[in-house]
């Protein structure tokens, strides 16, 4: 007889105050014990126990996140808090062991997640600002919840199955569900790790500052995630960023175009591709991507800035000034720290164009003499 979640303990084990008086690192742990039934394999039992321990750790983390003052100010729903937490908090397995008796073996798993409140708030802020990132995260959360329900149903079905052949078929379905769950976990884990070093909502984000070993590990992990689920948009965006970090523009473009073929209306993908093309000097191709965004969101700040900068790179100050002035107008009241360097870039470009619609950039004027 299978017993699911037979012994679960949750607790917050440590709180460390960082050098910043308003930030802290919270460590949360959850335990799960899974009692094996006659039809269970030890491998699948461990996978099930791991998924439950991680889920419970994230539930506790979500409860903690919901209690934070800044999150309360966002007025997020419980589901939104849970979604954000699962998408930006990295969870790891810190302990496992076999327990129970020979007749009723048990697998014990302890999961841990760390929450740096500064990093957490910064990333939640990004999701609040960027609808595409938020929609990707929400899609991932829905898929994860559906897979968990499917897994629970298969576990119960397997426990009750008396026919060995049908039990084997159920185990295969369970293996597929667990593999898909683990793929989403891998994507969330890599996203949480990588997003600490880059802003996916920033079209000109700095290269990811990670070690070569981590770059290799994350690349393989996301390639595997896409093999499991070719429609995993978050994995494709991560893989595109990792390829770009390697300087492999061809592979980066391929991942972005594949993602766009699956989700052609996603402005973030068009923005990423447009910036990639702009940086390669493929200005007309880049402008087509930015124009797609403009038709959907005519006042989107990043699109206005990138369109203006691309026209400037082409030597067309008339169009550059028009877009950059629109950018400055629509960001006039946006005082977020991340917007300051973008405004500075726009002001410098306007200055180089002499703020005159008919002028060429100063550098290009001198070359034409």
Hey, what are 56's tokens?
């419970």
Regions of the chain short of the pLDDT cut 50: 1-21, 357-358, 364-369
Q: How many CB atoms lie within 10 A of CB 244?
A: 22
Q: Model pTM? A: 0.81
In 144-266, DSSP assigns E strands to none
β-strand pairing of 24-35 with 3-17: antiparallel
> How would you class 176 by CB atoms within 10 Å of its CB: exposed for 0-12, middle for 13-18, buried for 19 or more?
middle
pLDDT value at residue 356: 56
pLDDT value at residue 74: 82
pLDDT value at residue 361: 53
212-253 pLDDT, tens per residue?
999 999 999 999 999 999 999 999 999 999 999 899 999 999
| 8 A C-beta contact, residue 310 and residue 323 | no
Question: What percentage of the chain has pLDDT greater than the value 90?
Answer: 59
| 8 A C-beta contact, residue 368 and residue 360 | yes
pLDDT value at residue 61: 92
What span, in angstroms and rounded, lies between the C-alpha atoms of 277 and 194? Answer: 23
């690349």: which residue's tokens? 219
Query: For the chain, how many helices (H) and strands (E)?
Result: 15, 4
pLDDT value at residue 53: 95
């Amino acid at each position: 007889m299978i017993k699911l979640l037979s012994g679960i303990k949750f607790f917050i084990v440590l709180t460390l105050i960082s050098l910043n008086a308003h930030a802290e690192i919270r460590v949360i742990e959850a335990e799960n014990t899974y009692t094996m039934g006659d039809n269970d394999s030890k491998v699948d039992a461990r996978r099930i126990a791991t998924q439950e321990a991680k889920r419970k750790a994230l539930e506790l983390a979500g409860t903690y996140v919901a209690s934070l003052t800044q999150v309360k100010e966002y007025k997020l729903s419980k589901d939104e808090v849970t979604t954000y937490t699962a998408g930006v908090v990295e969870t790891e397995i810190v302990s496992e062991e076999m327990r129970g008796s020979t007749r009723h073996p048990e697998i014990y798993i302890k999961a841990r997640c760390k929450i740096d409140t500064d990093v957490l708030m910064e990333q939640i802020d990004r999701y609040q600002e960027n609808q595409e990132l938020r929609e990707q995260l929400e899609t991932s959360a829905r898929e994860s919840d559906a897979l968990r329900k499917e897994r629970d149903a298969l576990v119960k079905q397997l426990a009750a199955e008396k026919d060995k052949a049908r039990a084997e078929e159920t185990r295969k379905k369970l293996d597929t569900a667990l593999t898909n769950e683990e793929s989403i976990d891998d994507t969330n884990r890599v996203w949480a790790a990588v997003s600490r070093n880059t802003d996916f909502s920033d079209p000109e984000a700095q290269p990811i500052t990670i070690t070569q070993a981590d770059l290799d590990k994350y690349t393989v992990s996301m390639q595997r995630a896409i093999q499991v689920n070719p429609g995993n948009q978050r994995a494709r965006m991560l893989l595109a960023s990792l390829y770009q970090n390697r300087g492999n523009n061809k592979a980066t473009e391929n991942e972005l175009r594949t993602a766009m073929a699956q989700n052609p209306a996603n402005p973030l993908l068009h923005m990423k591709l447009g910036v990639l093309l702009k940086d390669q000097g493929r200005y007309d191709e880049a402008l087509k991507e930015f124009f797609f965004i403009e038709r959907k969101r005519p006042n989107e700040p990043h699109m206005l800035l990138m369109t203006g900068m691309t026209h400037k790179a082409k030597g067309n100050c008339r169009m550059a000034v028009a877009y950059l002035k629109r950018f400055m107008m629509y960001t006039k009241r946006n005082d977020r720290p991340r917007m300051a360097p973008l405004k500075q870039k726009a002001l410098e470009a306007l200055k180089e164009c002499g703020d005159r619609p008919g002028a060429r950039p100063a550098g290009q004027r001198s070359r034409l003499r």
